[in-house]
Amino acid sequence: MKISVVGCGYLGAVHAACMAKLGHEVVGVDVDQEKIDALAAGKAPFFEPGLPELLTETHASGRLRFTTDMDAIRDADVHFVCVGTPQQAGSFAADLTYVDTAFREVAARVKTGDVVVGKSTVPVGTAGRLAAELTAVVPGATLAWNPEFLREGFAVKDTLHPDRIVYGVTGGVGDATGEQTVTTLDAVYAGALAGGTPRIVTDFATAELVKVAANSFLATKISFINAMAELCEVAGGDVTQLADAIGHDNRIGRRFLNAGLGFGGGCLPKDIRAFMARAEELGADQAVSFLHEIDAINLRRRQRMVDLTAEVLGDQPVAGARVAVLGLAFKPNSDDTRDSPALDVAASLHALGARVVATDPEAVVNARRRVPGLEYVRTAEEAAAGADVVLLLTEWQQYRDLDPTALAELVAHRRILDGRNVLDPIAWRAAGWTYRALGRP
Ligand SMILES: NC(=O)c1ccc[n+]([C@@H]2O[C@H](COP(=O)([O-])OP(=O)(O)OC[C@H]3O[C@@H](n4cnc5c(N)ncnc54)[C@H](O)[C@@H]3O)[C@@H](O)[C@H]2O)c1
Ligand SMILES: O=c1ccn([C@@H]2O[C@H](COP(=O)(O)OP(=O)(O)O[C@H]3O[C@H](CO)[C@@H](O)[C@H](O)[C@H]3O)[C@@H](O)[C@H]2O)c(=O)[nH]1
């Protein structure tokens, strides 16, 4: 099939490459010339494991190209819209300007029979509005809403082998146009559906809600365990053992119960906020008012880390202390620093006058763009040299594997704060370190 992908960021670039991998002829379009130049040269414009190899392979196949020329979508029959929906400045609501602009641009170029597929995460009600706007321009074109659930760091695998695929279609199940759209989407996703991937066909509102409900649930699970960490801190318990113990209950499950600095990134924080804003517009704010608490618990963890740093420094003031920060991305295996808890903590300590020397295997360029004032270095060892305290804030494998004895030789004071509960306290204490973590004695 001939497919266009409009918006080639973390979601769209991966989606375009995966669609080509599934055998389709794909054109990716973005307004960002730099991003398109990289992609057109077969290079990933951001760090995502497996993407460079996939781009090389699909580039060579001749089935994948990238351009800033929107007219290139005219050849395609199915058009995925993958542009950003960030949080509005000064509000919890989603900023839909990119979605609205992209849909207008697409609608001006599609033809009868084309299917436009929304993948961006949007407030419930958006798809219905956009469907009406699309058919007002091209009555024979249809809209589908196909939310995306990929995780950064696993984006290629999640796209090619998703846990489920959701289609929101006009009129829902049983509607003739809807049925036709389902047939088209099944052909698009044939390679990913093979092997029995569950596929849920539903109406627009449900499809939009599935996405924000899933992210709200994940955020709730993380904040739940972080609330337990707060309790452990005052009562003297160990949240990692607590998580293991409750996680053995199959009804609860151990995944997404890792306590620490909490959730960040370009999705969970802004999606739960946009959900609250939309629920309020719909007069249903009470239904999701608990999300305010989820957000508050999450943000308290970042402040707790800053306070804990001051606590372990003891008589030494934060201002002037040399703080080594290991990890800046919002999670490992990503270079994404959007709403990164790690970068937030580093910036707060810097604002308090600490000399923050920070490193990350992939995220330094993005971090520097957001917080230029920190001192950025290449390695954990460089960051730790002469440090009064070391903060592990993003659990990259190389930081998990650090040798406490070797690192002890580099620092001014052996103080380590494990913001992600991934180090072995016994080994670090045995090497002479003061080990502190969130939610652990
Ligand atoms: N990043 C993820 O892991 C992920 C996963 C699932 C869903 N989502 C959702 O997908 C959407 C995109 O997220 P992202 O992380 O890829 O964002 P991103 O900022 O990385 O990418 C968005 C891209 O859209 C481009 N763009 C903006 N306006 C455009 C226009 N008019 N025409 C063409 N391109 C345009 C931007 O230049 C940018 O490259 C969001 O709604 C997000 O919530 C993201
Ligand atoms: O037990 C855990 C698990 C995760 N996190 C943090 O939670 C955040 C989000 O992690 P993750 O969900 O793995 O990353 P994303 O790539 O943001 O993926 C989420 O957001 C995407 C965009 O909506 C969705 O598509 C995915 O399904 C959803 O998992 C990160 O800061 C993690 O450090 C924890 O603190 N504890």
pLDDT one-digit tens code per residue, 150-173: 999 999 999 999 999 999 998 755
Any residues with Cβ below 6 Å from ligand 1, and which? 6-12, 29-32, 35, 82-85, 98, 101-102, 105, 120-121, 148, 150, 152, 266-267
Whether the Cβ atoms of residue 51 and residue 28 lie closer than 8 Å to each other: no
Each of the 441 residues of the chain gets a pLDDT tens digit; together they read 999 999 999 999 999 999 999 999 999 999 999 999 999 999 999 999 999 999 999 999 999 999 999 999 999 999 999 999 999 999 999 999 999 999 999 999 999 999 999 999 999 999 999 999 999 999 999 999 999 999 999 999 999 999 999 999 987 557 788 899 999 999 999 999 998 999 999 999 999 999 999 999 999 999 999 999 999 999 999 999 999 999 999 999 999 999 999 999 999 999 999 999 999 999 999 999 999 999 999 999 999 999 999 999 999 999 999 999 999 999 999 999 999 999 999 999 999 999 999 999 999 999 999 999 999 999 999 999 999 999 999 999 999 999 999 999 999 999 999 999 999 999 999 999 999 999 998
- The domain boundary residue, chosen from 177, 202, 227: 202
Whether the Cβ atoms of residue 437 and residue 417 lie closer than 8 Å to each other: yes
Whether the Cβ atoms of residue 417 and residue 436 lie closer than 8 Å to each other: yes
Q: What is the pLDDT of residues 282-303, one digit of tens each?
A: 999 999 999 999 999 999 999 9
Same domain, 173 and 75: yes
Q: Is 71 exposed, middle or buried (0-12, 13-18, 19+ CB in 10 A)?
A: exposed
Strand-pair category, 322-326 with 199-202: unpaired
23 CB-near residues (< 8 Å, 6+ apart): 63, 191
Same domain, 293 and 344: yes
Same domain, 304 and 417: yes
**232: annotated active-site residue:** no
Q: What is the pLDDT, as a whole number, of residue 175?
A: 79
Same domain, 361 and 432: yes
Same domain, 301 and 274: yes
Say what the ipTM of the complex is: 0.99
Q: Which residues are annotated as a binding site for substrate?
A: 149-152, 211, 256-260, 264, 331
Same domain, 392 and 246: yes
Tell me how far apart the alpha carbons of residues 373 and 352 are, in angstroms, rounded to a whole number: 12
Same domain, 212 and 128: no
Shortest-distance Cα residue to atom 25 of ligand 1: 7
Q: What is the pLDDT, as a whole number, of residue 177?
A: 80
Domain encompassing residue 192? 2-202
Provide the CATH number for the domain around residue 49.
Answer: 3.40.50.720
- The domain boundary residue, chosen from 151, 177, 202: 202
If you measure from the C-alpha of residue 263 to the centroid of ligand 2, how many angstroms do you get, rounded to a whole number? 6
The total number of structural domains that make up the chain? 2
- Output the CA torsion 230→231→237→240 (10° steps): -50
- The domain boundary residue, chosen from 202, 225, 250: 202
DSSP letters of 354-381?
Answer: -EEEEE-SS-HHHHHHH-TTSEE-SSHH
Q: What is the largest CA-CA distance in the chain?
A: 73
Shortest-distance Cα residue to atom 3 of ligand 2: 256
